[in-house]
Amino acid sequence: MHGKGGSPTKFVAELASGLEAKGHLVANIEMPWSGNRNYDVNPAAAEAEVDAALARLRAKGASRLFVAGHSLGGTFAFYYGSKHAVDGIISIAPGASTASQVVREKLGGTLEEARKLVAEGKGGETARLQDFEGAKGTYAVVCKPDNYVLWFDPDGAMNLMKSIRALKPEMPVLLIVPKGDYPSLIKQKQSLVDALPRNPQTRLFEPDATHTGAPNASRDEISRWMMEVAR
């Protein structure tokens, strides 16, 4: 699962192809927050999309299943792992937690606008709302307020810390925070590490890479860690 932008981004595609080259079965799926989709379904439907992708991997012979995501995908990976039984979570440069101060400041007004539209019975009609990304700032998206409210609820699916604290102790995590990540994401690193379940296979990996370069820079460690957990 990738961050915002168009279809599965180049840097995530490179990670997927690199893992496939090492013999891993991979499903690289385009999630609802992509630039092509703009929150076209709600978080529950997104969970179902991941369910389906994992089922396809099982059908191909996968015996151990890991959920990985980059940026917003890294945040959603924690949410999915807090609700579903998988063998491990790989969260690469997780960001855009709806409970964060910057997201509340940038999008709080738009969230209230979307909630008002829902209250007026217009939740199923597309509207021009706002999204935010660290690299590009605030920008417009056209989506249904019903979906927007669920994605941007500060206490909802994309509350990063809430999802981490809901993980079961037996869930191993590979948390990847690149050394060249956005300052706000580096700043939250220690709080995320402190909140992770005390699983002996949980690891923090800090590649010498930027936010966008983190997936490909981590592929060797991701492969090594998955093999370690699988054993």
Catalogue all structural domains in the chain, each as residue range(s) with its CATH number. 10-99+158-230 (3.40.50.1820)
| Mean pLDDT, rounded, for 137-158 | 97
pLDDT of residue 96: 86
pLDDT of residue 136: 84
pLDDT of residue 149: 98
Per-residue DSSP letters for 88-122? EEEEES----TTSHHHHHHHHHHHHHHHHHHHTT-
Distance, CA of 188 to CA of 225 (rounded, Å): 23
Q: What DSSP character marks residue 72?
A: H
| Mean pLDDT, rounded, for 16-37 | 96
Tens digits of residue pLDDT in 167-225: 999 999 999 999 999 999 999 999 999 999 999 999 999 999 999 999 999 999 999 99
Instruction: Print burial letters for 129-160: b (CB count within 10 Å at least 16), e (below 16).
Output: bbbbbbeeeeeebebbbbbbbbbbbbebbbbb
Residue 124 binned pLDDT confidence (cut-offs 50, 70, 90): very high
Q: How many residues does the chain have?
A: 231
pLDDT of residue 5: 55
Q: What's the pTM value of the predicted model, to 2 decimals?
A: 0.94
Report yes or no: 55 and 47 within 8 Å, Cβ to Cβ.
no
Distance, CA of 156 to CA of 228 (rounded, Å): 32
